[in-house]
């Protein structure tokens, strides 16, 4: 990693800052700093993520926050278990057929199917069909790539949107919005009069019941369901891909996780599948998850905020009002000042110390952002990782297509050139790794 210091100019009037005390100032809960116009470039209707008005954000978040608490999340464990079982079935099929698996693509399909199940009680069919069935992955990637580029050139956003509409028609995020609308209509049609409600609880059911009770507006329905789709799948797929990559690149770490799983299973302390409540008592699994999120945060850009009126001194430098400043999780998570001289090494053990020793390191974790704008859906990712990884490592071995080739960076908001895949071949633990392969998942959308 190149070391440029705690403050780096990354564009005109745009700075990246990783000084811990300054991060706390920028991403505090006072509302002094607002999001910059960088977020306008994503396109589509204003939502919980893109709104720059802190009061509007606070109101939107307050109305739906209870739906994202971990106590609410665990009600979706059955849905995650169903999709995980399907994922294991597909991996078993790939092992039998000696297929090469594009892990980031397949983990995207898994994450999208999970989010469909827990949000609408209807998955996207991506794992079954091995593809972007609704075109939503492509649309989300386009929106995020636009934000990564047009966000740096806000003066081009308006003419770009006009040109985009003239050339291609439609509106940004139209597939996602139309899908949410169709699912709302499907639910309302299926649950009118004496008809039986879905046997499963979902985000959509809960938020529409709140709307019927006049506790939320319809924009909050879109905030919840649209945000789940727009931000809860791509990022989770990346995090799961990273966990697989680092575990199977580090056989000693994989062995420790398997030992924890096998020991606890033999003692009757975990079931198959593992529940979230059981997983809370699996220290090495939790260390793996934290270290994965540290080593490979899903967002690869600064989360810019606007310096308030009067300017401010940060990191020993004065920034006039209107300057865009922010933190990028990547350089922060690799900071030796925070995580020690081995910050560039994958070591889940760093999270196994006493809580008093880990507080500072945990407070600097930025995988889900910080302050009042911390990702509302973080518990979706944490729950999926907690439940998926034990099922995977207890059943499958993997071999890299090219043992010498490292995985290039892959994250959701960043230049498209940094979206890259890696291939593995799967085998059941009781079987020998296959020697010849064919491709199971293309890299068409990465």
Determine the pLDDT at residue 192.
57
The residue ranking higher by pLDDT, 402 or 95, is: 95
Q: Could you tell me which of 47, 77, 76, 115 has the C-alpha nearest to residue 391?
A: 77
Which of the four pLDDT bands, split at 50, 70 and 90, describes residue 441? low
Least confident piece of the model among 93-102, 110-119, 272-281? 93-102
Q: Could you tell me which of 331, 296, 369 has the C-alpha nearest to residue 19?
A: 331
Q: What percent of the chain lies above the pLDDT cut of 70?
A: 87
Determine the pLDDT at residue 309.
95
pLDDT above 50 (res 27): yes
Determine the pLDDT at residue 410.
60
Percentages helix, strand, coil for the chain (3-state, rounded to 5) are 55, 10, 35
Q: Could you tell me which of 239, 260, 236, 251 has the C-alpha nearest to residue 399?
A: 251
pLDDT above 70 (res 172): no
User: pLDDT per residue over 32-80, tens digit each?
Assistant: 899 998 888 777 678 888 889 999 999 999 999 999 999 999 999 999 9
Determine the pLDDT at residue 196.
43
Which of the four pLDDT bands, split at 50, 70 and 90, describes residue 417? very low
pLDDT above 80 (res 208): yes
Average pLDDT over residues 102-107: 91
pTM of the entire predicted model: 0.89
Which CATH number is 39-310+328-439's, of 1.10.645.10, 1.10.630.10, 3.20.20.10, 3.40.50.1980? 1.10.630.10
Using CA atoms, how far residue 88 sits from 45, 230, 298, 321, 407, in Å, is 37, 25, 24, 53, 23
Q: Kindly state the DSSP code that residue 30 receives in the 8-state scheme.
A: S
Determine the pLDDT at residue 260.
98
Using CA atoms, how far residue 410 sits from 55, 108, 229, in Å, is 33, 12, 19
ω into 273 cis (within 30 of 0): yes
Determine the pLDDT at residue 431.
42
Which of the four pLDDT bands, split at 50, 70 and 90, describes residue 109? very high
Could you please report the per-residue DSSP string of 189-239? HHTSTTPPPPSS--HHHHHHHHHHTTSS-HHHHHHHHHHHHHHHSHHHHHH
Which of the four pLDDT bands, split at 50, 70 and 90, describes residue 432? very low
- When the pLDDT of each residue in the chain is averaged and rounded to a whole number, the result is 86
Q: Locate all alpha helices (DSSP H) within 267-409, ordered by sequence.
A: 276-279, 283-295, 329-333, 336-339, 355-363, 378-393
Average pLDDT over residues 161-171: 72
Cα dihedral 432, 104, 182, 167 sign: negative
Q: What percent of the chain lies above the pLDDT cut of 90?
A: 56
Average pLDDT over residues 371-392: 95
Determine the pLDDT at residue 42.
72
Average pLDDT over residues 361-366: 95
Least confident piece of the model among 134-148, 313-327, 360-374? 134-148
């Amino acid at each position: 990693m190149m070391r440029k210091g705690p403050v780096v100019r990354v564009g005109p009037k745009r700075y990246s800052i990783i000084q811990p005390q300054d991060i706390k100032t920028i991403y505090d809960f006072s509302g002094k700093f607002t999001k910059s116009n960088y977020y306008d470039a994503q396109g589509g209707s204003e939502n919980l993520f893109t709104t720059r008005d802190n009061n509007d954000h606070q109101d939107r978040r307050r109305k739906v926050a209870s739906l994202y608490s971990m106590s609410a999340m665990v009600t979706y464990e059955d849905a995650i278990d169903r999709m995980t079982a399907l994922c294991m079935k597909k991996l078993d099929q790939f092992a039998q057929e000696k297929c090469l698996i594009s892990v980031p693509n397949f983990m995207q399909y898994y994450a999208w199917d999970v989010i469909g199940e827990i949000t609408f009680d209807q998955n996207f069919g991506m794992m079954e069909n091995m593809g972007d069935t609704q075109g939503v992955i492509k649309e989300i990637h386009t929106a995020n790539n636009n934000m990564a580029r047009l966000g740096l050139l806000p003066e081009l956003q308006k003419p770009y949107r006009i040109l985009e509409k003239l050339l291609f028609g439609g509106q940004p995020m139209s597939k996602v919005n139309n899908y949410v609308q169709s699912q709302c209509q499907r639910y309302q049609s299926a649950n009118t009069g004496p008809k039986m409600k879905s046997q499963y609880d979902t985000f959509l059911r809960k938020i529409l019941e709140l709307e019927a009770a006049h506790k939320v507006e319809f924009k909050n329905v879109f905030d919840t369901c649209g945000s789940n789709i727009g931000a809860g799948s791509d990022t989770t797929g990346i995090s799961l891909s990273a966990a697989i990559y680092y575990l199977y690149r580090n056989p000693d770490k994989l062995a420790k996780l398997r030992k924890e799983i096998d020991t606890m299973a033999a003692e009757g302390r975990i079931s198959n599948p593992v529940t979230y409540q059981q997983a809370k008592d699996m220290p090495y699994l939790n260390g793996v998850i934290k270290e994965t999120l540290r080593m490979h945060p899903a967002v690869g850009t600064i989360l810019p905020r606007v310096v308030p009126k009067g300017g401010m001194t940060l990191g020993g430098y004065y920034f006039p009002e209107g300057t865009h400043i922010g933190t990028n999780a990547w350089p922060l998570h690799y900071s030796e000042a925070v995580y020690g001289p081995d910050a560039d090494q994958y070591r889940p053990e760093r999270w196994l110390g006493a809580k008093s020793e880990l507080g500072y390191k945990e407070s600097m974790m930025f995988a889900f952002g910080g302050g009042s704008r911390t990702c509302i859906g973080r518990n979706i990712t944490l729950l999926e990782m907690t439940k998926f990884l034990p099922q995977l490592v207890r059943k499958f071995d993997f071999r890299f297509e090219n043992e010498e080739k490292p995985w290039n960076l892959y994250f959701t908001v960043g230049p498209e050139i940094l979206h890259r895949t890696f291939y593995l071949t799967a085998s059941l633990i009781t079987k020998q790794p296959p020697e010849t392969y064919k491709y199971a998942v293309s890299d068409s959308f990465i």
